[in-house]
Amino acid sequence: MKTHRALLGLLALALPFTSQSAQELSSVAGMHSHQGPAKRSPLVERVRRATARYRDISVAIGEGWVAGTPCVTGPNVGAMGVHFVLPARIGDGLANADEPEALIYEPLPNGALRLVGIEYIIPVDAWNAKNPGSGPPNIDGHLTNLVGAPNRYGLPSFYELHVWAWEDNPDGNFVDWNTKVSCDYQRAN
């Protein structure tokens, strides 16, 4: 539990700095599928079913999801959005398509938040402890991306995969940044 809190704390501190370099996070973006809305992946549909109730942010908050970052934006490459994480899932060592570690919301002009996607975040040590010798997590046929340590987040090595289930992404359903998502309406704290 102490490790889970430490990872959650580090994640909350680290993700706001993702605007420094989109290329660092998306080093394998070229390996991802470039599907438009007409060719939606089965994983995208599965994520939509698993997260539909979180389109209402009050449901997510009521179920224990907490804001992990302000709106994450990247220069010239769009944004990720505001990450809400479920602390019990961070560091559990599992890769379950129906249970993402983060929900991603886009701030709207009226102050509301709109669900645009999710992120799987799996610390390498937690994964290896539960799945020795298995290699990187594979979520419904999609390999996760390794973000090694040391990294600019100050986090231990982790695997991650974004899924743009609620906002089409011209660059693909599984790339880190979405050019259709904006942080223009992020409210100052």
Q: What is the DSSP letter of 169?
A: -
Whether the model clears a pTM of 0.85, i.e. scores above it, the answer is no
Characterize 72-81 residue by residue with b for buried, 16 or more Cβ atoms within 10 angstroms of its Cβ, and e for exposed: bbbeebbbbb
pLDDT value of position 35: 42
pLDDT value of position 153: 65
| Res. 68 pLDDT band, cuts 50 70 90 | confident
pLDDT value of position 70: 85
Contact 147, 25 (CB under 8 A): yes
Mean pLDDT of the chain: 81
Dist CA 177 CA 168 (whole Å): 11
pLDDT beyond 90 at 12: no
pLDDT beyond 70 at 23: no
- For the four alpha carbons of 164, 138, 45 and 87, in that order, the dihedral sign comes to negative
Strand partners, 112: none
Contact 175, 32 (CB under 8 A): yes
**Where do we find the tokens 């990294």?**
151
Mean pLDDT on 5-11: 44
